[in-house]
Structure 1
Amino acid sequence: MIQNLQTESARVGLQMNLQKTKLMTNSTKPTIKIGNEKLEYVDTYIYLGKQVSFHQNNNIKEIIRRINISWKKYWAHKEIMKGDLPLSTKKKIMNSCILPCLTYGSQTWTYTKQAKEKIRKCQAAMERSILGLRRRDKVRHTKIRERTKQIDFLSQSMKSKWKWAGHLARVEDARWTEIWNRATEPKGPAAGRLHGERGTLYDELFLPEAAPQEVDLVEPRRFDKK
């Protein structure tokens, strides 16, 4: 397939960037070449801004990576976030610049207890920072949120996952997103589960958080032709 891509690209004057073309697999690693160039196998890769990996802990690593990126964006606006500007201005920067950095790709995250806690702690630390507070001041986060009236990062990221789940539920053809959605993770001790225990389906991630009637109310969207 990759040879065909190289050939067809060359026909229209395009050339593959072999420095950015990497291979990833959870099986054997046969040698694959483009011309005389041997392609490299990697364990993780950043594709379209999201870390891709077969590792079991890739989900939490991706969330930590997004948190680190969000903090870099926060400090890039240090003059605003730590300055004597109105809180409303700082909120606009949080909502328009930092929140999108954190929640990018959150539609595919698995919201474990650990993942939720990291997102909450990230926002709590940022809110303390814009108010000039420290942890040793021992101001309860509920009081801080009353002052900032900031959008909850965790709720916003989980809402984006619900929207994506609704989109998948309306898919009626055999596109690859629907096929991948139905796939289970590897079984057995290598996947961190008991022998014979089935992996969690994407659909099942929503069941503890939704009433049955909410799951059943997804209907295809209809658009009227003008």
Structure 2
Amino acid sequence: MLKSLDAILNTGIRIAIGAYTTTPIQSLLVDIVQLPLNLRSQMQGMIYGLKILSFEKHPLSEEMKQNEETNNIRALINNRNDMHWTISDRLQAAQKCFYAHKNLFKSRLLNRTIKLRIYKTIIQPVLTYSCESWTMTKNDERSLKIFERNILRKIFGPKIDENHEYRRRTNAELEELINGQNVIKAIKSQRLRWAGHVVRMTDDRMPKRIFDATPYNTRARGRPRSRWLDEIEEDCRKIGVQRWRVIAQDRSEWRKIVNEVKAHPEL
């Protein structure tokens, strides 16, 4: 079973998870507990609900990239649990979306409230597509914040200081204008929402079985990369939520926590 799975991972596959039509893959994952540890990060994309996955070693990667960029549903996973390229793709797609609607942000007929709503309903969903499965480094968070601040400066414009001169708005001023509801907190909120959904799944569901599995084998040398579950637990610790798996069983209570995260000062 492991040899068959390893062969598929080495050649690369493209699978659709949304409708759970991946019968060959499910048959290989019947005994998921036997998976080696170094394959766990590659399987995490399946666990956390990416609709389309494509592996970097796929022999038709160029054709797949072209098709997926056209459909705007591309996501890459690898054996290092590195989401940098996926986030870079999302930034490029969001940049294109912004320039496609640039005239709206320049228009004097629209006030700032409407422009901010346009950003949050059209551009931000493109930027955060499949963010429920992301593990972000500090550099990734910085890149996402820089992109958002550039758009916010377009929306709110410069500020007149005490000398009656125009100056650029600071990062702190922009955070105050949006009440602290930045893109990073939006991503973490979506990630917690999906975590609660996975925890509430029945034990016979494939994502839940992989989520609860404990693969064996030794780790590679060096500091382990931050896992998706590590970041979920770290976010819960920062907002003061204990025993989050138990709380997540209550949909109403968990929904309140997810909404609070969008503007929580500790995140």
Fold conserved between structures, TM > 0.5: yes
1:95 matches 2:99: no
Distance 1:220 1:147 in 2: 33
Aligned CA distance change for structure 1 residues 129 and 175 (closer, same or farther; 3 Å): same
The residue aligned with 1:41 is 59
The residue aligned with 1:173 is 203
1:156 matches 2:186: yes
Judge conservation of contact 2:200–2:249 (CA < 8 Å) in 1. Answer: yes
Q: Which ranges of structure 1 fall in alignment gaps of 5 or more residues?
A: 1-23, 30-39
The residue aligned with 2:231 is 205
Aligned CA distance change for structure 1 residues 43 and 187 (closer, same or farther; 3 Å): farther
The residue aligned with 1:56 is 80
Superposed counterparts of 1:114-133, under 5 Å: 114-133=139-158
Q: C-alpha deviations, 1:4-60, integer Å up to 9, x for none?
A: xxxxxxxxxxxxxxxxxxxx943368xxxxxxxxxx724585667132332536411
Which AA in structure 1 matches 2:88?
A: I
Aligned CA distance change for structure 1 residues 179 and 41 (closer, same or farther; 3 Å): farther
Superposed counterparts of 1:208-219, under 5 Å: 208-211=234-237, 213-215=242-244, 216-219=246-249
The residue aligned with 1:145 is 175
Judge conservation of contact 1:43–1:53 (CA < 8 Å) in 2. Answer: no
1:27 matches 2:10: yes
What secondary structure is seen at the aligned counterpart in 1 of 2:75? Answer: strand
Shift of 1:169: 0.9
Judge conservation of contact 1:87–1:148 (CA < 8 Å) in 2. Answer: no
Normalization by structure 1: what TM-score? Answer: 0.66
Judge conservation of contact 1:187–1:198 (CA < 8 Å) in 2. Answer: no
Judge conservation of contact 1:82–1:132 (CA < 8 Å) in 2. Answer: no
Which AA in structure 1 matches 2:59?
A: Y
Aligned-CA RMSD value: 3.5
Aligned CA distance change for structure 1 residues 70 and 214 (closer, same or farther; 3 Å): farther
Q: C-alpha deviations, 1:112-140, integer Å up to 9, x for none?
A: 22222121111111111223449x94531
Distance 2:234 2:148 in 1: 24
Distance 2:81 2:228 in 1: 16
Q: Which ranges of structure 2 fall in alignment gaps of 5 or more residues?
A: 1-6, 13-57, 160-165, 253-267
Higher relative contact order (CA 8 A, sep 6+): 2
Aligned CA distance change for structure 1 residues 199 and 79 (closer, same or farther; 3 Å): closer
The residue aligned with 1:73 is 97
Shift of 1:172: 2.3
Which AA in structure 2 matches 1:159?
A: S
Aligned CA distance change for structure 1 residues 28 and 89 (closer, same or farther; 3 Å): closer
Please list every run of at least 4 consecutive aligned residues from structure 1 whose deviation after the TM superposition is greater than 6 angstroms: none
Shift of 1:106: 0.6
Judge conservation of contact 1:170–1:219 (CA < 8 Å) in 2. Answer: yes
Judge conservation of contact 1:119–1:153 (CA < 8 Å) in 2. Answer: yes
Judge conservation of contact 2:90–2:127 (CA < 8 Å) in 1. Answer: yes
Distance 2:124 2:190 in 1: 12
Distance 2:174 2:128 in 1: 22
Judge conservation of contact 1:95–1:151 (CA < 8 Å) in 2. Answer: no
